[in-house]
Structure 1
Amino acid sequence: MPVLVITGTGTEVGKTVTTAAVAAAALAAGRSVAVLKPAQTGVLPGECGDADEVARLAGPVTTVELARYPEPLAPATAARRAGLAPVRPSEVAEATAKLATEYDLVLVEGAGGLLVRFDDEGGTLADAARLLDAPVLVVASASLGTLNTTELTARELRRQDLDLIGVVIGSWPDNADLASRCNLADLPVSAGAPLLGALPAGAGTYPAPDFRARAASWLSPQLGGTWNAAAFVSAQAH
């Protein structure tokens, strides 16, 4: 796939580190990669944003930000409060399509969840994905409550006729509790899509060489990795 849109079921679910893992696996396979962050919020000029973090972990990817707003808010709100122009879904689609002519894989990392607003007209990452006709990967948490947010996200993707290719758990705990272990079986049911990976908790703190060496082992072959869902579920059941 030349373009993959990556969204989360909410904030702090491991979306950026998952994007980095997908990028690292693609680079290891010899593909050229660009990472587009439509709207970076909560970061001042000169500071490292999510796309920069992906590059730090994954390696030589091209990073593009379309807009940056200083306050850690939804993009539309942050743009309005900063007196800056918002990002439109059409701009996201146009920039992504241009990158797709130059790179083997373009990863578009959203802000927060699928329906977080880019502008005051209600434009979202879902709108950009639809304009691109691109598949969407959902990053979810492992813990109690994730089934609801994952199913809501999946239902909205289907309502908008978008292609949900699967779910990745963005942070799998070292000592998983009962709810997390049960969620391994329940998440694909809630999403109506396969589980395509699980990143260990704290993966974003790994030294970059270790992260790059291990990234493919956290992702399924559909995402360029070697991770096996059935084997992982079985191992966690004991």
Structure 2
Amino acid sequence: MKGAGVSRGGVRLPGVVVVTGTDTDVGKTLTTAALAAVLQAHGATVAVYKPVQTGVAAGEGGDMGEIRRLAGTNECVEGARLLLPMAPVAAAVRESKALPALADHVATVQSLATSHDHVLVEGAGGLLVELDQDGNTIADLASAFPSSAVVVVCRSGLGTLNHTLLTLEALAVRGLSAAGLVVGSWPRDPGEVELDNKEYLSRLATPLLGCLPEQASLLSGEQFRTAAPEWLGIRGR
């Protein structure tokens, strides 16, 4: 199973990498797993943190379980888990649960960073989805780590250019560094729209790190880890 890799030179990633998306269900979890797999293939130690997981019941693996299965990353931590498949604040209100404060997320990432070369932080939804009742977002969490960088996961099809450019603009306004773009699901038989979008994205100042093949989640962990370095052009710090 092949993706449509682009950045073969290898973008160097910092110690803290925040993975966000242009929307929900764009492939953030698979991208986070692929990033972890490639970094580990380069000999780096990796931890993954999900500030808030929604839409998953107690006892289910969730996004962190999937990353653990695909990338073989043992240190996969959740800040909070909510049952309803909604934005974190809305789900927490309906379940009468308190969400961790931004300071709690920062402390967890800092703790993981003391014992790992890289900490990958997978957001919930897009860049400006609120993580707590105080209105803090994944962008605010990234801002707490000045040397961090953000990987933006985008779609391949119609509408992705506007959503991607809006997300990059929001990062720039906040002074956040965009390490690169990843197409979260590249079709087996791309049409003109997908091919044109890829060409456009590859010309942006923010590098297109690569494209993950559709149905990559169906691979075994061993298959996924073997293929991931061919999908993404990245290096550790």
Scaled by the length of structure 1, what TM-score is found? 0.90
What is the one-letter code of the residue matched to 1:169? V
Is structure 2 residue 175 aligned with structure 1 residue 161? yes
Once the two structures are superposed, the pairs formed by residues 1-238 of structure 1 within 5 Å of their partners are 1-133=14-146, 134-189=148-203, 192-222=205-235
Q: Give unmatched runs, 5+ long, in structure 1.
A: 225-238
- Give the Cα separation in 1 of the matches to 2:236 and 2:180: 10
Alpha-carbon contact 1:97-1:132 (below 8 Å) kept: no
Alpha-carbon contact 1:36-1:65 (below 8 Å) kept: yes
Alpha-carbon contact 1:90-1:131 (below 8 Å) kept: no
- Give the Cα separation in 2 of the matches to 1:113 and 1:132: 19
Deviation at 1:12, TM superposition (A): 1.1
1:164-217 CA distances to partner (integer Å, 9 max, x unpaired)? 11100011000001111001121245x641101111001111111110100010
What is the one-letter code of the residue matched to 1:149? H
How many matched pairs?
A: 223
Q: Give unmatched runs, 5+ long, in structure 2.
A: 1-13
Deviation at 1:92, TM superposition (A): 1.5
Alpha-carbon contact 2:31-2:212 (below 8 Å) kept: yes
1:39 alignment partner, SS class: coil
Alpha-carbon contact 1:140-1:150 (below 8 Å) kept: yes
Alpha-carbon contact 1:32-1:104 (below 8 Å) kept: yes
- Give the Cα separation in 2 of the matches to 1:60 and 1:83: 32
Bigger fraction of residues in helix = 1
From the superposition, tell whether residues 186 and 208 of structure 1 become closer, same or farther in structure 2 (CA, over 3 Å): same
What is the one-letter code of the residue matched to 1:127? D
From the superposition, tell whether residues 221 and 65 of structure 1 become closer, same or farther in structure 2 (CA, over 3 Å): closer
- Give the Cα separation in 2 of the matches to 1:17 and 1:223: 18
Alpha-carbon contact 2:36-2:73 (below 8 Å) kept: no
Deviation at 1:89, TM superposition (A): 2.4
Alpha-carbon contact 2:106-2:144 (below 8 Å) kept: yes
- The percent of aligned pairs where both chains have the same amino acid is 45
Scaled by the length of structure 2, what TM-score is found? 0.90
Deviation at 1:87, TM superposition (A): 2.7
Alpha-carbon contact 2:42-2:235 (below 8 Å) kept: no
- Give the Cα separation in 2 of the matches to 1:77 and 1:28: 38
Say what the alpha-carbon RMSD is for the aligned residues: 1.4
- Give the Cα separation in 2 of the matches to 1:182 and 1:136: 24
1:82-126 CA distances to partner (integer Å, 9 max, x unpaired)? 111113222211110110001111100001100111123211000
Alpha-carbon contact 1:58-1:211 (below 8 Å) kept: yes
2:164 alignment partner, SS class: helix
- Give the Cα separation in 2 of the matches to 1:148 and 1:105: 30
Q: Which has the higher contact order (CA 8 A, sep 6+)?
A: 2
